[in-house]
Structure 1
């Protein structure tokens, strides 16, 4: 489901609908504050949470992949959104499907041992027992069941913190000031112009180390210049994927935005294939969507791989070094 448009209004002008719903948002924010005040399981190894204040995608998975390249001996613990297994279970890409463990854990499992657990504390305990030297908690910033030694809040500068209000008046799980006060660092993801706009709007609330990064396509030997493509994406913000494709010179003759984590049914894939054939276009999708494709369909679809690039990791590297 697409979020209501007023969620993305400027905080100075949230709109009538947001103002009418604001009392409910205040109740939601207060409930979050009470929940996160509880103490949770404290692991014997450091736990780093990669979370957000917004509902929906902000770039946590690319941030987790990037962090895995900066620490050794890490295991990932994820709730496994959309998966049927309650866990704790160690994800095996050769055996498990996205329907069982979720698409993000399947993707992350290519980079590090990844555990799916609806009970995050049980997942952390399983990772410890399996020899994890450090645990990266994928999401769960508002979940009190695990003590976090370090929390990194990730935000997409294209949407920022929306209208600054909590659900259902806005896109936030908790107020920005309260959330950032509990975090150890903020990572904003987006191009330079978006970063500048984000700082103008929210910089007055940022009193913690602030990292800036952007998602950049990885050169895999594919020449996208002039390539006619039918692009489809079931991620938080499909438009970012389409923009990345265009930046590589691809000609998007049709862009299909799917819901985040939307199942890729046989009917949907047959329709997309027929449309691509009729347009003389190549099917292309994201890494996260690619892991949800049936094995028999994957050869028909190209994947644009992106990775997070951060100009200066020093603040986060120093904080991590203190924990180890």
Structure 2
């Protein structure tokens, strides 16, 4: 019998999970094993599909289904040419949640909602939350600057209250969370749950090579850096000699490796030049990227794969939140979630005792 306390929130009620904890969608990391382990532990696991082909996503969803009967989600890019087909997969498989790094258009939100799928875009500012809420989103995840991967500059403690004031739908807070104290603080702010990426990457259930996990754990609070030299957008990652080399290289010196990695991404993804060009144009239109930034974007999947899948820490990029400097163990997802929820419940009980 599971004796872990239950923290019921509008998010747990909306999605149908036991605990208000989300394992965020991470390319090359959030595969079926990690997602199903999170789901079976009572949290919401989210498949990172940006690095998957349509066929790979179909198989990954089916594998998660074979491993768990609990709700889970899929993270999608709303600006890809095959976004409608990917949404069709979610509908066909009965996936519970569709999360988005970029705001999906109203017609895509409507299609998902009409088929009973919870829509949860990620946002970085109150105005973005207001926009997607007006379009029909069921919840939002707001990530502060402490978070890994693509991130902003405003810390979670400041951006979270602005989003909470702006919308009435459930808000999941991400960026800087790793323990029960963080969950308790987010709930006290008024959030309905927390999202964690780096903390779930560093679990026994993560498929990231063990040597890479140990490499992560060796970094301190100053062990990450935010750079736009990898794909043209601010990206928080581990500070490594390779990243420092990219940061110091001139545009001309980065050109040849960029072309080589783009060719590698095309080969491994199975995408045609036409599809790559259409996705690139969509990035420019929807994200306001320059031509140079768009060209750099194809770098990211190959660089992340080198580190997170192939285990080459000397030639790969390792996305990481600042919390990496506070992590020292590799629990299972079940151990992690139980520990966080129990600690959060105790924190909230102690805080309640302060009220006269």
Sort the TM-score into its range (normalised by shorter chain).
0.3 to 0.5
Normalising by structure 1, we get a TM-score of: 0.38
Instruction: Flag the structure with higher helix content.
Output: 2
Normalising by structure 2, we get a TM-score of: 0.35
Instruction: Flag the structure with higher strand content.
Output: 1
